[in-house]
């Protein structure tokens, strides 16, 4: 009997996404980063859009539109909303924000997104804290999954729902 050790297409995409996301670590945060600035500075949604674009998946520019993409990952009713085994690399978690955007699907608003990297770590472009601390950075799993402002989690890679995210052939 032969064992098949080939990586799946999903695993390859996840590894590439993690690689491109981690290359942005430490880059400055700028709320409302303009298209020509992205790559040098990021806000949370331009960061996830940029990383996903590197693996051939187009996401919308704003967090609220990104929250409409992919498949919903069921969450628990109260914190912690997830265990590590519930999430896969590339999954996006969305949160309320003070500068959130609202629509009928998200009446509480969506103002921030973070990407799960695996191994208990999230990455995001954070605008909180001192100016020096506003950058693309890592967060520990326990800190993120216990946030009371959590709204929805979405799986983009391997998603059967391609409402707004569309894969590009490479």
In angstroms, how far apart are the furthest CA atoms of the chain?
58
Which among 3, 36, 101, 112 is annotated as catalytic? 112
- The alpha carbon torsion through 27, 62, 87, 16 (nearest 10 deg) reads -50
Tokens coding 113: 């997104």
Known active-site residue 124: yes
Q: For 39-162, where are the alpha helices, taking DSSP H only?
A: 44-54, 63-66, 141-145
Known active-site residue 112: yes
Which among 3, 36, 44, 69 is annotated as catalytic? 44
Tokens coding 141: 């799993």
What are residue 139's phi and psi, to 5 degrees?
-135, 150
Which among 3, 36, 101, 124 is annotated as catalytic? 124
Catalytic residues: 44, 112, 124
């Amino acid at each position: 009997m032969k064992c098949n050790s080939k990586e799946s297409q999903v695993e390859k995409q996840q590894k590439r996404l993690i690689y491109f996301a981690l290359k942005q670590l430490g880059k400055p945060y700028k709320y409302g980063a303009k298209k020509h600035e992205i790559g040098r500075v990021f806000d949370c949604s331009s960061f996830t859009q940029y990383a996903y674009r590197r693996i051939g998946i187009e996401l919308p520019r704003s967090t609220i539109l990104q929250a409409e993409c992919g498949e919903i990952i069921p969450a628990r009713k109260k914190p912690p909303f997830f265990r590590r085994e519930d999430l896969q690399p590339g999954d996006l978690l969305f949160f309320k924000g003070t500068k959130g955007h609202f629509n009928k699907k998200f009446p509480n608003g969506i103002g921030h997104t973070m990407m799960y990297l695996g191994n208990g770590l999230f990455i995001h472009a954070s605008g909180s804290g001192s100016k020096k601390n506003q950058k693309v950075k890592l967060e520990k799993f326990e800190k993120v999954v216990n946030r009371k402002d959590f709204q929805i989690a979405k799986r983009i890679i391997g998603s059967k729902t391609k409402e707004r995210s569309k894969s590009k052939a490479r």
